[in-house]
């Protein structure tokens, strides 16, 4: 995997993920990419280590002798964490965990394209997309940022080709028409913080129904 991934998570997103400030939809995509990419995993761990150094450098302040005991008494210790789910077919562990350990529930979007909405909230949505070989996603732009991580197969658009483990970062300046390459069905994990901006009338009319 490390020899084939050519599109990586930008450093700013890795830093935000390490700091815990990345919204959940994006955090899931970045966590999944980090699970696949040794290069980005090393960069993520470096950001974590840097955060620890910063905390160590913070000047301490005196507290009362009983403060630690008082705080610990207020904390309810959680049950031991269950083992993290393993890969399920093309879906890495973080995605399987987000699905509750169950296979995705697909719904059709037409022309063989399917989706499974993993989560939705005010911070955005994250979904799995399944696109048959040779099929195009309707031409669209973005009202915010979209992260798209390839889990199986590949797709190509105006910016290049994206294979397994590759992450495309799209912003408001990019308008593109992703097309699944020949071979395997392309399965992607995609996160957005705002509805897409479709060019054609029919996708715009169906957008609210499909929650995209």
Tell me the per-residue pLDDT of 159-191, one tens digit each, with 9 for 90 and over: 999 999 999 999 999 999 999 999 999 999 999
- What is residue 196's predicted lDDT score, i.e. its pLDDT? 82
Nearest CA-CA partner of 170 in 195, 150, 194, 141 = 141
- What is residue 211's predicted lDDT score, i.e. its pLDDT? 79
- Residue ranges covered by each domain of the chain: 1-212
* pLDDT mean over 94-120: 95
Flag whether pLDDT at 3 surpasses 70. no
Tell me the per-residue pLDDT of 116-151, one tens digit each, with 9 for 90 and over: 999 999 889 999 999 999 999 989 999 999 999 999
Angle between helix 38-57 and 24-36 (nearest 10): 120
pTM beyond 0.95, yes or no: no
Flag whether pLDDT at 2 surpasses 50. no
Distance of CA 90 to the CA centre of its chain: 15
Q: Sign (positive/negative) of CA torsion 137, 23, 125, 37?
A: positive
Fold of 1-212: Jelly Rolls (2.60.120)
Q: Give CA separation, 184 vs 3, 153, 159, in Å.
A: 20, 5, 21
């Amino acid at each position: 995997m490390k020899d084939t991934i050519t599109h990586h998570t930008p450093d700013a997103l890795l830093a935000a993920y390490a700091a815990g400030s990345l919204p959940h939809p994006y955090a899931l995509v970045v966590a999944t990419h980090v699970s696949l990419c040794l290069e980005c995993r090393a960069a993520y761990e470096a950001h974590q280590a840097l955060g620890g150094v910063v905390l160590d450098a913070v000047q301490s302040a005196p507290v009362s002798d009983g403060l630690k005991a008082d705080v610990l008494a207020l904390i309810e210790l959680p049950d031991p964490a269950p083992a993290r789910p393993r890969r399920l077919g093309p879906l890495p562990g973080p995605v399987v965990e987000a699905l509750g350990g169950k296979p995705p529930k697909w719904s059709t979007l037409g022309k063989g394209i399917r989706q499974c909405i993993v989560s939705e909230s005010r911070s955005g949505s994250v979904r799995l997309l399944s696109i048959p070989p040779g099929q195009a996603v309707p031409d669209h732009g973005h009202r915010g940022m979209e992260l798209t991580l390839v889990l199986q197969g590949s797709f190509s658009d105006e910016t290049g080709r994206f294979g397994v483990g590759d992450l495309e970062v799209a912003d408001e300046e990019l308008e593109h028409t992703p097309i699944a390459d020949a071979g395997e069905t392309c399965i992607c994990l995609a996160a957005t913080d705002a509805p897409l901006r479709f060019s054609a009338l029919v996708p715009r009319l169906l957008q609210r129904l499909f929650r995209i």
